[in-house]
Amino acid sequence: MRALWLMLLAPASLAAQGNVSTQGFGYPTGQLSTRSEGAAGAFGEFDAQSPINPAAIASDRTTQIHFQYDPEFRTVAVGGTHENSTTSRFPLAMISGPLWAGGAIALSWSTLLDRTFQVSQSSLINNFTNNQRDTLTSTIQSSGGINDLRLTTAWAFGSWLAIGGGLDLFTGQNRLLQQVTVTDSIPNQYQQSQFKNSLSYNGVGASGGITLRPVKWLGLAGSFRYGGGISVREGDSASVAHGLIPARWGGGLLLNPLQGLLISARYDWEQWSRLSALGRGDLQAQNGGGWSVGADIEGPKLGTNRYVTLRVGGGNRPLPYVLAGTPIRETDLSGGLGIPLLGQRSVLDVSVLHADRTQVLGVDEKAFILSVGLTIRP
């Protein structure tokens, strides 16, 4: 037998994440409710439906179920070429209710990092029997991410202080597909190549937080997340890589200068580099803080004692990595509204966030993230 290595067809350098926002282990959704997203995350430390500050659930001690849907409409521009894509996300679901003596409990499921993308590239290969060029399409696809399953309890001590804590279980999977398809005019000449892989994550953490309301028009909040260990297993292999869940701390300020007007500011810092040990590539992680400011305004009246809430906000936050020496950040502008439905028994929140990510290597990426959240108080 003689093997002739005739040629090595490299249709292109292909793979992984063909955009700025889903590099590394994925895009940090922020773990924010639709309501918080409407103000660019500024209310995250005070919002009972955002699994950020465990103490916040004590501020709304009704039994409630919240879930939301956040599709992202992304545009990536390279030179004069624009490419649009849509990613569907269900980043948050939560059920919460009251406990005795001012207490509250919540079970939440939220996406810490979403790694959903698909990259396709086409090239031409020589069909040696037909003397023609056939189109070869290579596709890399990933879906899933690392999720945060958290059990939270909090107690309110009077109207001015609440303290909470939570236990976090980080779990999830990246389902990966590598596919090669050749399109030609003659059937049965080519077969599709498909390789599947999966990355399974398991980790733990803990969270704590506090909210203060020293005076009626002022609120203060602070929270942290302690990151425990996280492991990743590739497929059904025995080898496991170990890393650490990113630590996080943040604080917020809430002002209520007028009836029906809330203004908030928030700072949040995350230690993404603790995930580096899980990876194999040379992607550089970055730690850093982001800020946001926003307002929540009581809008037009909707029936008796019900108001449409209008929200607006803006901010800037880091994404977890550095690309080509450039720290990647995202500048957000958002707006939204909350509509009470069925009396006060449910609320439909809708927000739209415009994300402008750092331009790097000539790639300019912008996205609109629509968020639709429904809160039901049975």
Partner 1 sequence: MTVRPIAILVTLLGAALAATACSEHLNGGVACPVLCPGQNLQVFDTTLRIDHLAPVYDTTVASFPLLGDEGTLLLANIPNRADVRGIMRFDSLTNYFAHTVNTTTTNLYPTVAHDALLLFAINRASVRATRGSDQIQFLVYDVDTTADTTVSVLASRFTTPHFLGSSSAILASALRDTLTGNVLDTIKIRLDTAAILAKVRGDRKLRLGIAAFVANSRSDGVRMTINVSAPAPFIRYIGSLDSLKNKDTTYFRITSNLRSVTPVTDSSLQNRLVHYPLAVQGALTDAVDALNIGGMPARRVFLRFALPPRIIDTANVIRATLMLHPRPQPLQLPGDTVVLYTFPVLSSNKVTTPAGATNFLPTTNLYNLDSVKVAPSSGSVATFDFVNAVKNWQNISDTLNTRSLVLRILPEGGTSLETSFWSSFAADTSLRPHVRLQYVKRSSFGVP
41 or 338: CB nearest partner 1: 338
Rounded distance between C-alpha atoms, residue 147 and residue 196, angstroms: 21
138 or 292: CB nearest partner 1: 138
Q: Are 110 and 51 contacting, i.e. CB atoms less than 8 angstroms apart?
A: yes
Q: How far is the CB of 332 from partner 1 (least distance, A)?
A: 18
71 or 222: CB nearest partner 1: 71
Q: How far is the CB of 55 from partner 1 (least distance, A)?
A: 30
CB atoms within 10 A of CB 348: 16
173 or 316: CB nearest partner 1: 173
Q: How far is the CB of 119 from partner 1 (least distance, A)?
A: 5
Q: How far is the CB of 146 from partner 1 (least distance, A)?
A: 12
139 or 147: CB nearest partner 1: 139
Look at residue 34 and give its three-state secondary structure. helix
Rounded distance between C-alpha atoms, residue 351 and residue 315, angstroms: 15
Q: How far is the CB of 41 from partner 1 (least distance, A)?
A: 20
Q: Which CA distances in Å does 20 have to 81, 199, 323, 359, 367? A: 15, 21, 8, 8, 11
- Comparing CA positions, the residue from 206, 104, 113 lying closest to residue 163 is 104
Contacts for 76 with CB less than 8 Å, ≥ 6 apart: 18, 19, 20, 82, 83, 85, 363, 364, 365
Q: How far is the CB of 92 from partner 1 (least distance, A)?
A: 15
Contacts for 183 with CB less than 8 Å, ≥ 6 apart: 134, 135, 136, 137
Q: Which amino acid is at 293?
A: V
214 or 343: CB nearest partner 1: 343
99 or 329: CB nearest partner 1: 329
Contacts for 310 with CB less than 8 Å, ≥ 6 apart: 296, 297, 298, 299, 335, 336, 337
26 or 288: CB nearest partner 1: 26
Backbone φ, ψ for residue 174 (5° rounding): -105, 115
Q: How far is the CB of 291 from partner 1 (least distance, A)?
A: 26
Q: How far is the CB of 129 from partner 1 (least distance, A)?
A: 5
Look at residue 37 and give its three-state secondary structure. helix
